[in-house]
Structure 1
């Protein structure tokens, strides 16, 4: 098939889907409405011409009979009562002076309306309401025959009972088949959902295992080596010992963060009770830790409004990542951090001055992670070079975001 033919076929399928009803309930209403109009257009003239009934009353009771299936979709008891009453009154309006050659008490249009009423109730509400409609409709025909014994009625009653009874049985079987199909569809959807959840849990467990076996193990070694450096290295200068202590503290903090992330990954319901999240109040400590690593840092904070916990966490992580990038790509360059809030947003800006060192090769996902954190909360972020050769990251986040990340997200 050529590309143009495929496009025409896809367009034709979309047009067909637009023309078809979107669900079974709408389809039933459309079908019953069409049948009601068609039966009404036939029933009224047939009864007024061949049965001598009063035109106005025939129009009234005929409309009630053909509309009863539509009413029974929502109100089965009312629909059953309306059709049963119409099925009793319409044959009783037959003129006694006419020599009937047509079937009575069930005319062909009324027989079809009876079958539609029984089938619609059975489809929508099950076999018991459908059986009640079948019994009451049959009883209405027999009652009309009892009131007018002079009009032959045996053949009509037998044929109508047989035909509508067959329609009722087919409706029961088809309705059962449809309900079974719905149950199977729901079961398959539930199974697919459970399978997807199981695969997600397995993937999260695999990631947690790799983080624990590789990253956490390496961080533990760094922490142990840095903590014991003053004891293992003779005559270690005090400055170097202090530097090793800072490295050990940073490693311990990273291990705590790693344990928290592992706890999230190993939690199947995504609602693990975690330690308090990082926030704006932790940024000065982050600045101080980075400053001890040799960076020239300055911090300006102007917080005048309360900021939600998700926004605080995002601000902290963006600041942490931007500082890490600045230290790695522009060592010994001056770094300024500015954090302000207004009535609607919290804004953090991290700027590093130009550096004489060659930038390190970038193969990480830091900028992508910052962008994702910002977009989840409905904020905006800009990261790029300055005209003077430096680099600036500016993130603007709503103080109270409308869409919040999943509880426990790192």
Structure 2
């Protein structure tokens, strides 16, 4: 936008400078057109090429001053006309804004030097008071605009740096949330694995007592299995301790599963949410990791619906479909005002991480009625799903 404004100012100055140079400064008319174009167009050129713009202005300044005073008596007593003053100020401002304080100051000093040199030529205005006043006004205005340009440029640089820092902070926040959610999911998954390892260790250790006809070789094999299970369980507990932080060390409650989804829906209903659980069919025998993930996905879906679409109707469906566990959480458009709430960003991240970890899929999208729909599929065979990330990597 400011480029258009600058070009418009240049055109207006050109329209004024040509008649001033050709009449008041007695410049040859064709030459007045050329010199005025150099002076007025220099500020536009300086936007993309500051050095070229400065050079064009200095040539135009020198030519207009010499042509307007040499060899004849000019009527106008000022060495610099008003359009030249304005063009000088804008040029210095543009150069300082685009390239910094040093090039802007050089442009200001070169213009002053050219003007002083031209004043030594024959035919230039001889009124020292008028000349001094003209130079003071012209270069003072240019100096003021020079400092304003530096301030504006500095402010824009600071704003750009703040924007970059905010973007970096947002990226770091997203990565931190992702790492935290992955660690939380990993803790849950390792709890399940540790429980299974404990069962293996107990069954292997008691095999020789539960199976009286067990031969010595098989008993020794079971003892080796029990020892390996104990060693793995110890390493698993160490890993689990590393994943837990001080604030999370108290997380000892049993993990909630598909069997707890009806209670979750009932609690939301008692809280005033219009929610229905359509069906939970054939899902109670799912592996523990799948059941935990299913509960968390439903929990996050309901929480997001309550937070972002208050007053809407929410429906939950969990069902077995072939080799998959299919989860749907949908809500209609909000019927009450939505108040901005600070969210940690864990919801969608957690759902996506859980489905990816188990080799499933997650689809979240707006629904035609203005609401939101969450569709997740989790493979029943978690052993096969566990190898999927390794194959993809």
TM bin, normalised by shorter chain, reads: 0.5 to 0.7
Unaligned runs of 5+ in 2: 244-281, 287-317, 328-354, 365-387
Matched ranges for 1:114-129 at <5 A: 114-129=88-103
Q: Specify whether residues 94 and 216 from structure 1 end up closer, same or farther in structure 2 by C-alpha distance, changes over 3 A only.
A: same
- Cα deviations by residue, 1:8-45 (Å, 9 ceiling, x for unpaired): xxxxxxxxxxxxxxxxxxx4433322222222222222
The offset of 1:216, in angstroms, is 1.6
The offset of 1:167, in angstroms, is 1.5
Give, in whole Å, the separation in 1 of the partners of 2:389 and 2:116: 66
Q: Specify whether residues 216 and 137 from structure 1 end up closer, same or farther in structure 2 by C-alpha distance, changes over 3 A only.
A: same
* Structural RMSD (CA): 4.5
TM-score by length of 1: 0.51
Query: In the alignment, what sits opposite 1:186?
Result: 164
Query: In the alignment, what sits opposite 2:75?
Result: 100
Could you tell me which of 185, 189, 196 is aligned with 1:219? 196
Give, in whole Å, the separation in 2 of the partners of 1:69 and 1:37: 11
Aligned residues: 254
Give, in whole Å, the separation in 1 of the partners of 2:17 and 2:389: 62
| 8 Å Cα contact 1:123-1:171 kept in structure 2 | yes
| 8 Å Cα contact 2:18-2:32 kept in structure 1 | yes
Ranked by relative contact order (alpha carbons within 8 Å, sequence separation 6 or more), the top structure is 2
Could you tell me which of 40, 45, 50 is aligned with 1:76? 50
Structure 1 range deviating more: 130-139 or 66-75: 66-75
Could you tell me which of 305, 316, 320 is aligned with 1:362? 320
| 8 Å Cα contact 1:91-1:104 kept in structure 2 | no
- For the residue of structure 2 that corresponds to 1:170, the secondary structure is helix
After the TM superposition, which parts of structure 1 deviate over 6 Å for at least 4 consecutive aligned residues? Answer: 405-410
Query: In the alignment, what sits opposite 2:136?
Result: 158
Unaligned runs of 5+ in 1: 1-26, 267-324, 330-359, 376-404
Give, in whole Å, the separation in 2 of the partners of 1:97 and 1:406: 89
Give, in whole Å, the separation in 2 of the partners of 1:72 and 1:122: 10
| 8 Å Cα contact 2:35-2:64 kept in structure 1 | yes
Corresponding position: 1:61 with 2:12: no
Matched ranges for 1:370-385 at <5 A: 372=361
